[in-house]
Amino acid sequence: MLFNDPVFASRLLTLLTLSFHIIYATIGVGVPLMIMIAQWIGIKKNDMHYILMARRWAKGFVVTVAVGVVTGTIIGLQLSLLWPQFMELAGNIIALPLFMEVFAFFFEAIFLGIYLYTWDRFENPKKHLLLLIPVALGAGMSAFFITIVNSFMNTPAGFDIVNGQLANANPIAAMFTAAMPTKVSHVLATAYMTVAFMLAAIAAYKLIKGSNHAYHKKALYMAMRIGLVFAIATAIIGDFSGKFLAEYQPEKLAAAEWHFETEEGAPLLLYGVLDENQEIKYEIRIPYALSILAHGDPFSEVVGLDQFLKEEQPPLVVHYFFDLMVTIGMFMIFLALIYWIGMKRAWSFVQSTWYRWLIVLGGPLSFLAIESGWWLAEVGRQPWILRGIMTVDQAATTSDYVGHMFILFAGLYIVLGVGTVVVLTRIFRNNPLEKDLEKMQGGDPS
């Protein structure tokens, strides 16, 4: 059985854990910014609806933070248990960003606790708003430091290998690798975009279900505008990411685009299938677009998979991850752009039920795009765990019990996922919008 192969089982368990954790990590990074923006608008406009948005979103955020702590801790343990050879080599040099990520989380958690327990305790609400700055900053820094570790795995730097041993370690150089700028900026932008569309989906769903409250209309409009800004930012950063891959990881770009032969003026391939002879069928070809993505020049040469050994080529399935990520990203840009223009010009269809259902669909689709982006990044680095230095096979544990661990952790994630939904549902069911609004109007600090 495949579960009896410790390498395969370790890869599968890591995939499961990262895919589950990225949901909570994305919420953990994006929600503090949304809370801060809502509260700032509420104070600026003296509008209690925006203040209430911040208050209600903060209630739900605490639940996801608690689960995120559990899954984040599991990832740290699994790095050592499943990939001991990797941690033995790289742990000496990437320990600094791992430690700083923990510090950033505690920094965020401390101020989040103060923020939550000081509602209505300040005469000047702007002082309470200031508490959100370290919360949002801590959340962003957590993503920054953990993404640095991933960047290091893609473009290792800051050390030498002498006689099979790590030497001349420079932790600062290891943190600021060639992959760091595009990876960090892409992670942050997609987190903010995804959370904005998630909150927009919730507001749109409430409106579809019969609520005509101004609170939901304002939440929808604000979230869609913020989502549009970060969706466009994500597309721009994606272009820079393509140029990074062309220079530093050309095999990943070639696999993602099924670019088998090196050529000039290379087309961009979307969709399609491969037959048994690796012939591409039913694809959409955009002339010169891959050369533009890779080098900004429609006639430039793009390196193909023919320049790499067969055993060093990434799995070709990453093409589908790329297509899924790009398709959803472009869909969300157009959906948000049409909504924004339509609201400005009073187009009635953007407030219709069918269009709001598209916005509702955009919430889970945005998370699917996040997942596919990470699958592209991680599977596209194969067979390397530390590119050019250590393969996944060399890094994995030799334990025969990883398959049993997979079953146990899968059960744990089911419990955590279902538990999150149940707790959040009860929180907001027991504290409906009207009840919270009545409390604020009555000055009830509870």
Q: Which two tokens stand for residue 339?
A: 């909504």
d(CA 378, CA 392): 11
401 confidence band (pLDDT: 50, 70, 90): confident
For residue 267, what is the DSSP state?
P
Residues 6 or more apart whose Cβ sits within 8 Å of residue 11: 392, 396
pLDDT greater than 80 at residue 178: yes
Please report the DSSP string for 2-26 in residue order.
GGG-HHHHHHHHHHHHHHHHHHHHH
Please indicate, yes or no, whether residues 147 and 278 belong to a single structural domain of this protein: no
Domain extent for 292: 263-302
d(CA 208, CA 403): 44
Is 222:38 a contact under the CB 8 Å cutoff? yes
Q: Of 277, 302, 327, which marks where a domain is finished?
A: 302
Q: Of 286, 302, 318, which marks where a domain is finished?
A: 302
How many CB atoms lie under 10 A from the CB of residue 446?
5
Please indicate, yes or no, whether residues 162 and 45 belong to a single structural domain of this protein: yes
User: Which pLDDT belongs to residue 445?
Assistant: 41
d(CA 36, CA 184): 21
User: Which pLDDT belongs to residue 121?
Assistant: 81
How many CB atoms lie under 10 A from the CB of residue 46?
9
User: Which pLDDT belongs to residue 444?
Assistant: 46
d(CA 68, CA 25): 6
Sequence-separated contacts (24+) of 123-132 with Cβ below 8 Å? 125/39, 125/43, 125/51, 126/43, 128/39, 129/36, 129/39, 129/40, 129/43, 132/32, 132/35, 132/36, 132/39
For residue 334, what is the DSSP state?
H
H or E element in which residue 85 lies: helix 84-116
User: Which pLDDT belongs to residue 85?
Assistant: 84
d(CA 168, CA 272): 47
Please indicate, yes or no, whether residues 257 and 267 belong to a single structural domain of this protein: no
pLDDT greater than 70 at residue 438: no
Please indicate, yes or no, whether residues 243 and 380 belong to a single structural domain of this protein: yes
pLDDT greater than 90 at residue 335: yes
Please indicate, yes or no, whether residues 413 and 297 belong to a single structural domain of this protein: no
d(CA 112, CA 136): 9
H or E element in which residue 280 lies: strand 280-286
Q: Which of 58-72, 323-337, 432-446 has the highest mean pLDDT?
A: 323-337
Please indicate, yes or no, whether residues 156 and 268 belong to a single structural domain of this protein: no
**149-175 confidence digits (pLDDT tens):** 889 888 888 887 777 777 788 888 888
Please indicate, yes or no, whether residues 296 and 218 belong to a single structural domain of this protein: no
Mean model confidence pLDDT for the chain: 86
Please indicate, yes or no, whether residues 32 and 48 belong to a single structural domain of this protein: yes
**pTM, rounded to two decimals:** 0.90
How many CB atoms lie under 10 A from the CB of residue 309?
8
**Selected residue with higher pLDDT from 400 and 115:** 115
For residue 65, what is the DSSP state?
H
Residues 6 or more apart whose Cβ sits within 8 Å of residue 292: 298
**77-100 confidence digits (pLDDT tens):** 888 888 888 887 887 788 888 888
Three-class SS state of 401: coil
| C-alpha distance across the termini of the chain, in Å | 56
How many domains is the chain partitioned into structurally? 2
Q: Which two tokens stand for residue 210?
A: 């019969």
Three-class SS state of 161: strand
Please indicate, yes or no, whether residues 218 and 291 belong to a single structural domain of this protein: no
Please indicate, yes or no, whether residues 135 and 197 belong to a single structural domain of this protein: yes
Please indicate, yes or no, whether residues 258 and 246 belong to a single structural domain of this protein: yes
Please indicate, yes or no, whether residues 235 and 149 belong to a single structural domain of this protein: yes
d(CA 351, CA 338): 11
User: Which pLDDT belongs to residue 446?
Assistant: 38
